[in-house]
Amino acid sequence: MQATGRGYLPADRAAGWERLTALPLTALSLLFLVAYAVPILWPGLNQSWIQACHVTTMAVWALFWLDFCVRFVLHPDRRRFLRGHLFDLAVLALPMLRPLRALRLVTVVLNLSRRTEVWVRGRLGVYVAATTLLLVVVAALAALDAERGAPDATITSYPNALWWAAVTITTVGYGDYYPVTGEGRIVALGLMIGGIGLIGFVTGSLATWIVDRVAGRDQQQQAATAEDVAALRAEIAALRRHLEEPAGSARDRPAVQPETPVQPVTPP
């Protein structure tokens, strides 16, 4: 942070707060996810344990609110902060209503997704795989929480919910499991949108990778062809010099004078 005569700059304070709370918020998100999942996966738990999980989720949710308020206060342009975080504000406020409480998991997904992006920066495949897995697990939990106990419900166990989430996010849609409640359909809508986004992202990334590989291969082939042509030219030049060398040597060699024949001596 940079200090001035009046103290620290607001932007530096906001960035410092985000760096300070990055790891604690990640841990709180995981704690919230566990506390939310335990009563859903094991509905026969003792009532005291269920109550403890409920209190834990509410306490973590209050800390999420505190983090949002602190970031709002520390931000140098609060209007701009609100405009850029309207979705976060809605996700924090709407789940106070009982029918929309599954939306609390959206904050967990967003927070963990941001942290995953920082941790695996430059590793696109790891980030996409982690985000997809997190979205499937969370959506299955939310759907099971909404559907369990509803009349004519088809999603009545977590394995069924996982299968439904995987089929939905890949836009396959077998139709063997489907939500029948309003809250479950909201979860399905969010999962469909996430699935379309992820598939488009993966498809675009794969196409970019293929184009880069083809372009790189073409460049390598062009470089190899240029090297072959240069080597061939050098060989032709060397061969030409080799062929021309004897003729030049013969021309440059001095001519040899013929010897005078010896006249025979006749006796007197």
> Residue 99 falls within a domain, yes or no?
yes
Domain assignment present for residue 144? The answer is no
**From first to last of its 268 residues, what are the pLDDT tens digits of the chain?**
444 444 445 567 877 887 788 778 878 888 888 888 898 888 888 889 989 988 998 888 888 889 889 989 888 888 888 888 877 777 677 655 444 455 556 666 666 666 555 555 556 666 677 778 888 888 898 899 889 888 888 999 999 999 999 999 888 888 889 999 988 888 888 888 877 877 777 777 777 777 777 776 656 666 667 777 777 788 887 877 777 765 545 455 555 455 555 455 555 5
Q: Is residue 142 part of a domain?
A: no
Residue 26 structure tokens:
């990640």
Q: Which domain holds residue 103?
A: 7-119
Contact present, 107 and 57 (Cβ < 8 Å): no
pTM of the predicted model as reported, rounded to 2 decimal places:
0.63
Whether 168 maps to a domain, the answer reads no
Number of domains observed in the structure of the chain: 1
Identify whether 89 is part of a domain: yes
Q: How far apart are CA 267 and CA 232, in angstroms?
A: 72
Q: Give the separation between CA 168 and CA 175, rounded to whole angstroms.
A: 9
* Residue 82 belongs to a domain: yes
In a domain, 223, yes or no: no
In this structure, the chain runs to a length of: 268
How far apart (Å, rounded) are the C-alpha atoms in residues 28 and 25?
Answer: 5
Distance between CA 245 and CA 225 in Å, rounded?
A: 30
Q: Is 158 helix (H, G, I), strand (E, B) or coil?
A: helix
Q: Does residue 74 form part of some domain?
A: yes
